[in-house]
C-alpha cells in the first residue's frame, strides 16, 4: 500500500507553491500525525519561501527527487489548471496517494487519461472538491438523513470567461471555464441527489459564441428528486445552492453560509460555520483530514477521481459538450 512508507503518521509532499498550495499546506499541517516533508514547484524561489514558512526541509527540482527524498505517502498537487493533467500523470509514476486540486483535467477526456494512468500504475487518486466539506454542506447532509421526502435542488452559478482572460488564463483554460469553476456548483446535484440522474433537459442552452447571458437546465433523478441549474454568464449573480423538502429549505448563499427555513416560517435561521471553516479556507481542514485517512488506508469520505469524473460528465451534459 502507498501508506507503507510511514506507518505511524502521514508524510505529505506538495507540488506547487502558489496561493492554493499555501492554503493546503496550512490545512494539512494542522492534521494530527501529518508532517510536511517536501515541496517541488516550477518556480524554486516560491517553493523556498513556502518551505521556510512551514518548516519544510526539502525543496526539490523534480518529482522523482521529491518522492525519493521525502518519504511522502501523500502528494498534494496544486498547480495551474493548464498544467494539472500533465503533472497528475507524472505523479502517478510513484507509489503515493495523489491529491489533485480541482479540476482533475480540463476536460472529461483529460480526466479519463489521468484515471487510465492511475489504473495502469495501481495508484489512488483523490480530488479536491472542497465545497463538499463545508460545514454547511455537511450539516445539510446530516439533516437530510432524517427527511425521506422528495428533494428539489436549486443551483445558481455565475461565470465570466472575460474575467478569466483578464486574469491571464491561457486560452485553453478559458475555453473550458465551466469545468474549471462551475464544477463546484454542478457537483451539488450529485452531493444532494439520492439516486442516479435520469435526464438533463436544457431550458436555455449554452452557445459558446456569443456567450449567452443565461444557461439553464432541468435535472430529474430516478427516484423523483428534481433539480434546476441556472448560470449567469457575463453578468452579476450569486453562487448559491438550496435544497427544499416539504418540511424545510436549506440555503447556502453564499456557499460558505448556511441558513434554514422551516415550513410555516418566513425567516431563515443562520447556522454558524464550524471553527475549522473560520480558521482555514472553508472545507480545506476536513478535506485534508479525509485525504490523510485515504492515504493511510482508513475509511475516507475523500472524493475519488471516478466520482469527480461523474460530475465533469454532468457539466458536459448540461452544457451540451458531451
Residue spans per domain, the chain? 2-130, 135-272
The CATH H-level (homologous superfamily) assignment of domain 135-272 is Dihydrodipicolinate Reductase; domain 2 (3.30.360.10)
What does pLDDT average to in each consecutive run of 10 residues of the chain (322 residues)? 52 97 98 98 97 97 95 96 94 97 95 97 98 98 94 97 90 94 97 96 89 92 97 92 97 97 94 98 98 97 97 97 82
> 472575460: which residue's cell?
162
pTM over 0.85: yes
Q: b/e per residue, 63-81, with b = 16+ CB within 10 A?
A: beebbeebebbbbbbbbeb
C-alpha cell at 261: 427555513
Q: What's the confidence (pLDDT) of residue 8?
A: 53
pLDDT at 195: 92
Given this model, what pLDDT does residue 7 score? Answer: 43
The residue written with cell numbers 503518521 in the block is 9
Output the pLDDT for position 211.
Answer: 74
By CB neighbour count within 10 A (0-12 exposed, 13-18 middle, 19+ buried), where does 293 fall?
A: middle
Nearest C-alpha neighbor of 155 from the set 221, 238, 212: 238
**What architecture is the 2-130 domain classified under in CATH?**
3-Layer(aba) Sandwich (3.40)
Cell numbers 427544499 correspond to: 244
- Answer for the pair 78, 27: CB distance below 8 angstroms, yes or no: no
Instruction: Name the helix (H) or strand (E) containing 89.
Output: helix 81-91
Amino acid at each position: 500500500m502507498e501508506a507503507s512508507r510511514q506507518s505511524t503518521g502521514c508524510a505529505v509532499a506538495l507540488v506547487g507553491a502558489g496561493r492554493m498550495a499555501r492554503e493546503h499546506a496550512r490545512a494539512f499541517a494542522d492534521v494530527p500525525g501529518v508532517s510536511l516533508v517536501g515541496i517541488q514547484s516550477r518556480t524554486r524561489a516560491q517553493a523556498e519561501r513556502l518551505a521556510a514558512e512551514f518548516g519544510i526541509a526539502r525543496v526539490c527540482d523534480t518529482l522523482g527527487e521529491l518522492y525519493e527524498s521525502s518519504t511522502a505517502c501523500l502528494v498534494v498537487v496544486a498547480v495551474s489548471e493548464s498544467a494539472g493533467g500533465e503533472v497528475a500523470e507524472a505523479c502517478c509514476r510513484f507509489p503515493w496517494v495523489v491529491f489533485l486540486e480541482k479540476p482533475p483535467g480540463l476536460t472529461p477526456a483529460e480526466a479519463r487519461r489521468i484515471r487510465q494512468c492511475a489504473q495502469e500504475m495501481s495508484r489512488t487518486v483523490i480530488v479536491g472538491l472542497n465545497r463538499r466539506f463545508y460545514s454547511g454542506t455537511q450539516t445539510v447532509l446530516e439533516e437530510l438523513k432524517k427527511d425521506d421526502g422528495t428533494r428539489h435542488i436549486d443551483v445558481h452559478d455565475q461565470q465570466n470567461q472575460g474575467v478569466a482572460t483578464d486574469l491571464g488564463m491561457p486560452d485553453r483554460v478559458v475555453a473550458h471555464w465551466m469545468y474549471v469553476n462551475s464544477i463546484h456548483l454542478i457537483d451539488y446535484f450529485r452531493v444532494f441527489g439520492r439516486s442516479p440522474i435520469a435526464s438533463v433537459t436544457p431550458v436555455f442552452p449554452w452557445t459558446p459564441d456569443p456567450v449567452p447571458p443565461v444557461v439553464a437546465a432541468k435535472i430529474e433523478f430516478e427516484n423523483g428528486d428534481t433539480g434546476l441549474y441556472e448560470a449567469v454568464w457575463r453578468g452579476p449573480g450569486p453562487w448559491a445552492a438550496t435544497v427544499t423538502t416539504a418540511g424545510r429549505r436549506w440555503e447556502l448563499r453564499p456557499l460558505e453560509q448556511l441558513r434554514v427555513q422551516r415550513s410555516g416560517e418566513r425567516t431563515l435561521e443562520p447556522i454558524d460555520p464550524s471553527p475549522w471553516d473560520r480558521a482555514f479556507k472553508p472545507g480545506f481542514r476536513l478535506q485534508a483530514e479525509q485525504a490523510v485517512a485515504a492515504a493511510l488506508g482508513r475509511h475516507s469520505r475523500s472524493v475519488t477521481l471516478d466520482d469527480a469524473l461523474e460530475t465533469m460528465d454532468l457539466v458536459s451534459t448540461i452544457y451540451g459538450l458531451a
